[in-house]
Structure 1
Amino acid sequence: MPEFVIERNMPGVGKLGAGDLKAASQGSCSVLRELGPEIQWVNSYVTDDKIYCIYRAPNEALIRKHAEMGGFPANSISPVRAHIDPTTAD
């Protein structure tokens, strides 16, 4: 299934506490359950003012629907073209 990187501009998000992040995660998971197994949240990285999320979905439209239903931004959605890591250099 295709993977996507989603950039969410959320000023101050890095200052949120564990409880706030848990609530946001629960909201996202609730929407995912409604949308069904075609869309999967892999993981996310929280920075000072943005969240970068990795999702698997058949298309960008389903990711946009998830964001709309969840009430959070999806400022940029980019398909993953390749995976690299330190072992790629070997």
Structure 2
Amino acid sequence: MPRFVIEREIPGAGALTRAELHAISQTPCGVLREMGPQVQWVRSHVTADKVYCEYIAPDEASVRQHARLGGFPANAVNRVMATIDPTTAE
């Protein structure tokens, strides 16, 4: 199943408290329960004004539907073509 990295522009995201991040994470989980197991949230990385989310989904349309149903931005959706890490250099 393809993986996607979603860029979400959320001004001030890096200043959100742990409690706020906990509360915010409830929405995508609820939407995923409604959509079924074909879309999975893997993890998200929060920066100063953006959140980068990794999802497993059958296609970009499913990722965008998840964002639309949850009411959060999906400013860029990029399919992951390969993954590398330090072991790739070995």
TM-score (norm 2): 0.98
Which residue number corresponds to residue 79 of structure 2?
79
Which residue number corresponds to residue 89 of structure 1?
89
Bigger shift: 19-28 or 43-52? Answer: 19-28
Which residue number corresponds to residue 58 of structure 1?
58
| Number of equivalences | 90
Look up the SS of the partner of 1:73 in the other structure: coil
Look up the SS of the partner of 1:82 in the other structure: coil
Greater than 6 Å deviation, 4+ residue runs? none
Which residue number corresponds to residue 7 of structure 2?
7
Name structure 2 gaps, 5 residues minimum.
Answer: none
Identity of aligned residues (%): 60
Which residue number corresponds to residue 40 of structure 2?
40
Residue 26 (str. 1) matches residue 22 (str. 2): no
TM-score (norm 1): 0.98
Following superposition, the deviation at residue 19 of structure 1 comes to 1.1
Name structure 1 gaps, 5 residues minimum.
Answer: none
Separation in structure 2 between the aligned mates of residue 11 and residue 30 of structure 1, nearest angstrom = 23
Following superposition, the deviation at residue 81 of structure 1 comes to 0.3
RMSD: 0.5
Look up the SS of the partner of 1:22 in the other structure: helix
Following superposition, the deviation at residue 24 of structure 1 comes to 1.0
